[in-house]
Structures are given as structure tokens and as C-alpha cells.
Amino acid sequence: MFESTVFESEWYKTRPEIIQKLVRQFPPECTVRLKETGQIAQIYSYFENETLSVIIDAYRSFVLSGWTSFFGIEENYRVFGLKPDQLERM
């Protein structure tokens, strides 16, 4: 439901084509997995250099993969500069 309203919004229609392409691939608040680490994240922002930023969900990443237990990370954090081919939609 949320995805369809994004594509009809004024915000989407006024974005540059490259941003629209990224939004079609990964709509706002879309849940993704980082392919390299298996971490779970949500889309946070889009950039005209064809990258995205995400918020890593530290708790879900820990529960699903155990990744954060090694590093002791307990809070969510933002990662930027990710290319679309580094992410997979969940």
C-alpha cells in the first residue's frame, strides 16, 4: 500500500530520474539485507551518485545472523554509500 502512494506523490514526481529509479528498486522504508554481511536494514535516503544509505537494525541482524555479537553493537546505525547491487529486498 505504501509503495503505490509513493509513486503517486509530488515528492517522487519531482525527483531526478536517477532517484526515481532507486526508489522503484528500493521504496522508502523497504527492508533489505546487505549481501556481504547479512545485516538487516531499512532504506534511509537516496543520492544522485546512484547510492543509498540505510539504517542497520542491530537487533534483527543479531537475531538472524549473530553478526553483531562479535562486535558488541547494540544500537541501530546509519551506513551510506551503498550501491543497489550490494542490497537485496526482503
Domain residues for the domain of 62 are 2-89
Low-confidence ranges of the chain (pLDDT < 50): 1, 68-69
pLDDT mean across residues, the chain: 84
What pLDDT score does 57 carry?
A: 80
At 14, is the secondary structure helix, strand, or coil?
Answer: coil
pLDDT tens digits, one per residue of 63-77: 555 554 455 556 788
Total-model pTM: 0.79
In percent, the amount of the chain with pLDDT more than 90 equals 57
State the total domains in the chain: 1
**Buried b / exposed e along 43-70 (16+ C-beta atoms within 10 A):** beebeeeeebebbbbbebbbeeeebbee
- Cell 519531482, residue? 14
